[in-house]
Amino acid sequence: MTAYWESTAPGAGRRPARADAPSDARVLSLNGTWRFRLAPTADGTGPGFVADGFDDSGWDEMRVPSHWVLEEFTPLAGGPARSMLGTAEGPLYTNTAYPIPLDPPHVSTENPTGDYRLVFELPDDWVDGTVLRFQGVDSCAKVWLNGTELGWSTGSRLPFELDAPVRPGRNVLAVRVHRWSSGTYLEDQDMWWLPGIFRDVELIERPPGAIDDHYVHADYDHETGTGTLRVDATTEAVVEIPELGIRMATGETARVPVEPWSADVPRLYRGTLRSTVETVELAVGFRHVEITGGVFTVNGRPVTFRGVNRHEHHPDTGRTLDRETMVQDIVAMKRANVDAVRTSHYPPHPEFLRLCDEYGLWVLEECDLETHGFIYAGWEKNPPADPAWRDALLDRVRRMVERDKNHPSVVIWSLANESWTGETFTVLRQWVADRDPSRPVLYERDPSYRDSDFYSLMYPSLEDLDRIGRRAEDTPDGVTPAEDERRRSLPFLLVEYAHAMGNGPGSLQDYRRIMLEHDRICGGFVWEWIDLGINAVTADGTAHVMHGEDIDYEPCGGRFNLDGLLFSDRTPTPALAELAKAYEPVRVTVGADGVLVDNLRHTADTSDLTFTWTLTDDGEPVADGVLDVPAVGAGGQGRVAVPVPAHPPRGTLVLTVEARTAADAVWAPAGHVVAWGQHVLAEPPVRPLPRWSDDGDRAPGGADVTLGPGTFDAATGRLVRLGDLALDGPVLDVHRAPTENDHGQGDLNDLASVWSATGLDRMLHRTDLVERADDHLRVAGRTAPTTHAHGVDWTMLWQPDGAALVLTVEVELTGPWADTPHRHRDILLPRLGLRLSLPSAYARARWFGRGPGETYVDSFEGSRLGTFDRAVDDLQTPYPVPQENGNHVQTRWLELTGKDVPPLRVDGVEGYPTFDFTARRWTSQDLQRARKPHDLRDSGRVWLNLDHRQQGIGSASVGPALPERYRVPRERTTWSVRLQAG
């Protein structure tokens, strides 16, 4: 006999799926403290625990909702508290591989099973017809009430309801939850495996005449401005929308002028659906979704999603989220100009969608279905291709659509993620088309796209995306000409791009520009919103963020669960500022005499925005004012002059124009900056390079060599004193601590291992020449790795310039840099620059350039040009996996200061007006070695990098190689920089 948890059936005894909506029906929340006992196999504690009189006094206490693997539980009978974090019994992270043998639909006998018990009192006046609702149980639950079995279900992120014959007074609920079940095969998403009753449990009163299910059909005709409303329900009821003067019966249709719903103007009409015994709340949004001429439109206008992929995550409670956390996500998204969410890779808690309706976010809702791990069997027995699983798959899609069909925010249904192909997708697609013809369907992974209304890919390169935009993409293998032709006619949806793992992603602006250029591309969804790290402590009590590699378990998804725009605790990473810029709904292009305003929004004009201008001279405000920008309609453009006063510049003169919200919104108080633009009106002349001549006397110098304010070590040629500052350096630096993106994806684009295989992280220096002439000092040498023959020949030419020194560096790479014994065709240099060792007293940095956050050559547009002042310690971005961070591109000048040390000033010079800098208390090698932030220790020095160039960040951890233009070309290079102390 097949055990229920190993059956391909999705469940038994459950009520039909239905819409989730607030109503005045009485609800008894069963959230709270339950009794719990964990057992090693699916037998749990045995058959006895369902009995009314079962003695659970020795059991543990368990919070519901929660994932038991994240809870610390103390046996009621005494004994030590248990935390499973970091063990194979605890949260496990796999990316694509199953944590059970690939033996569908069976699971291992080792199957941690939690038996839950709750005794609750029912109010005396409670009527019959009660429904027991579980909003989410991972992964399979069987339920008993007062000793009677009610049913069982799989489908972790989907609700199920059971008829619950409650009795007055005391009731006993018993639930057995299996960690592994046949459902596991359908839930192979790249995330933590987190079992438990992790969403709400509630009892709902259902007297005769209650409204079981209702379906709101709210359409919008953009030509006439007319909304059409019909509400169907399983019970006769009255529909009332007072604001629209609508009062009608279910099944009747009303046509009224309305304002449409959109993500930027989320106009909801509140109302009720009233039967004799129940009133359901309606939040109606009128909108019309349609694909026409290969373009995805809502209300007659193309939509270009500014999207993110969102997993439900909290670093302490996993996928158990409270409403406040959901609001926090939505507010942060709206403030970062995000207007669309893909609910990767499962339906979220239903409250999240109510909030999306209200705050305004387009939702691409994805079903709880992923069978990625079948890839390890060559997709043999893949459930979508096996009719035995058809009911289970259909059950999931049905439960999603039925639950969420009434949300205006949901504009596309996604059948699954990463589940390859199978006939069942056609069945699912057909079912959705019949049940809900108002929304298109997406399925990304089948190369024929026959069951998808969109062409879609993940992580294409910029070139490929551009080709797709032009409908000129290559034909994928194994598709018929008819399929190819149909696919070419479809809109393109970039379901995942810009893998935000660690430092990065780069190129957000590049992707956005391409998306806006082509109507075919209906936008994209960055992977992903938030790092999925879990708060943990080491054996010695140090707090850290746990990722997959912290658990000794195979298969292991590594650190790929730390790939969000927010850190696990929801503080934004620098990428969020970059995203906010790329996703600006209004583009502000500032010129010398005025500003061009492009309204890229879908619906709203710009009348909700205030435009202000500021003139700064080397970062100091000089003048400002408010601009009178007449309202620019959605898709329109406006131009206004800026009354910039004449101002003789001292430094760099920058005109900044900002568009701020004029009034408070639910997601931001008035004054929130939605968009901004800058224009450099004047730049001071860059300091000229001092003249020098090769003529005159030259001498090797004595023990110490002096030149202007500088003293050099005669043997190494390094600067040891600059004015009153004792320092050491510079040395040529061609390395950086690899970012997650530098590690690439498996063997693909793994620059980090090339760097260490070719020794870039262990360069040694040799000085060949230290030669003092009248007006300069020439130092020459070679920097090269151990083991290898390749290296960098360099010359550093020092010249006095008043109280300063000007350094001109010339480098020549000597080979062979390619075709080394390793597989490296092309060794990229992560940086080309100089590293100085400074006294640890340097504590602050002031600079003019991009800031205040870190910037790289492919991710700086979200950071303004200005003067910034930061503590050295605050220049570090605390990535939970230490890696290169804290760079600043386009720096014109930099000043480091500290107690009892002279200010150190660095300027660009003629021909080389800008440089990159980083300042930190540890070296790149320390950063590279550290596994956690707490491994980083103050080295007792401040390490200052002044770089000619550092390569971009890219997103190769899952994505294309770093574009050529963001690399450091391996060619003969010269640059100069000016240093002054005091």
Q: Residue numbers of the site for ligand IPT (CB under 6 A)?
A: 95, 190, 345, 417-418, 458-459, 496, 499, 527, 560, 563, 958
Closest separation in Å from C-beta 558 to ligand IPT: 10
Closest separation in Å from C-beta 191 to ligand IPT: 7
Closest separation in Å from C-beta 959 to ligand IPT: 8
Decide: helix, strand or coil at residue 578.
helix
* Residue 444 or 608 with smaller CB distance to ligand IPT: 444
Query: Do 445 and 375 meet the contact criterion of CB atoms below 8 Å apart?
Result: no
Cα–Cα distances in Å, from 769 out to 729, 772, 779, 835, 859?
A: 16, 10, 5, 19, 39
Question: Residue 859: CB partners within 8 Å, gap ≥ 6?
Answer: 504, 505, 506, 507, 508, 574, 575, 578, 952, 953
Instruction: Output phi, psi for 792, to 5 deg.
Output: -125, 120
Say how many CA atoms lie within 13 Å of 301 toward its Cβ.
19
Residue nearest to ligand IPT according to CB distances in the complex: 190
* Residue 457 or 737 with smaller CB distance to ligand IPT: 457
Task: Tell me the residue type at 914.
Answer: T
* Residue 20 or 418 with smaller CB distance to ligand IPT: 418
Query: Do 530 and 313 meet the contact criterion of CB atoms below 8 Å apart?
Result: yes
Closest separation in Å from C-beta 561 to ligand IPT: 8
Helices within 336-369 (DSSP H only): 350-359
Decide: helix, strand or coil at residue 577.
helix
Question: Residue 99: CB partners within 8 Å, gap ≥ 6?
Answer: 92, 180, 184, 193, 553, 555
* Residue 560 or 922 with smaller CB distance to ligand IPT: 560
* Residue 418 is a catalytic residue: yes
Tell me 593's DSSP state: S
Both tokens assigned to 298: 């809502």
Closest separation in Å from C-beta 344 to ligand IPT: 6
Query: Do 354 and 265 meet the contact criterion of CB atoms below 8 Å apart?
Result: no
* Residue 179 or 342 with smaller CB distance to ligand IPT: 342
CA distance 261 to 411: 11
CA distance 493 to 518: 12
Closest separation in Å from C-beta 289 to ligand IPT: 24
* Residue 561 or 891 with smaller CB distance to ligand IPT: 561
* Residue 190 or 598 with smaller CB distance to ligand IPT: 190
Closest separation in Å from C-beta 311 to ligand IPT: 8
Both tokens assigned to 946: 């002044």
CA angle 222, 225, 231 (to 5 degrees): 95
* Residue 446 or 563 with smaller CB distance to ligand IPT: 563
Strands (E), 303-461: 305-309, 340-342, 362-366, 410-414, 441-442, 455-458
Strands of the sheet containing 160-163, edge to edge, are 27-29, 201-204, 131-134, 160-163
Give bridge partners of residue 306 from the DSSP assignment: 524
* Residue 419 or 890 with smaller CB distance to ligand IPT: 419
Closest separation in Å from C-beta 564 to ligand IPT: 10
Decide: helix, strand or coil at residue 843.
strand
The angle, 0 to 180 degrees and rounded to 10, between the axes of the packed helices 462-469 and 508-517 is 10
Decide: helix, strand or coil at residue 852.
coil
Both tokens assigned to 929: 């070695």
Total length of the chain: 982
Closest separation in Å from C-beta 204 to ligand IPT: 34
Task: Tell me the residue type at 440.
Answer: P
CA distance 428 to 448: 16
Closest separation in Å from C-beta 460 to ligand IPT: 11
Q: Which of 71, 240, 418, 584 is catalytic?
A: 418
Query: Do 152 and 127 meet the contact criterion of CB atoms below 8 Å apart?
Result: no
* Residue 443 or 459 with smaller CB distance to ligand IPT: 459
Closest separation in Å from C-beta 96 to ligand IPT: 7
Query: Do 582 and 596 meet the contact criterion of CB atoms below 8 Å apart?
Result: no
Q: Which of 161, 366, 370, 496 is catalytic?
A: 496
Decide: helix, strand or coil at residue 904.
strand
* Residue 496 or 761 with smaller CB distance to ligand IPT: 496
Active-site residue list:
418, 496
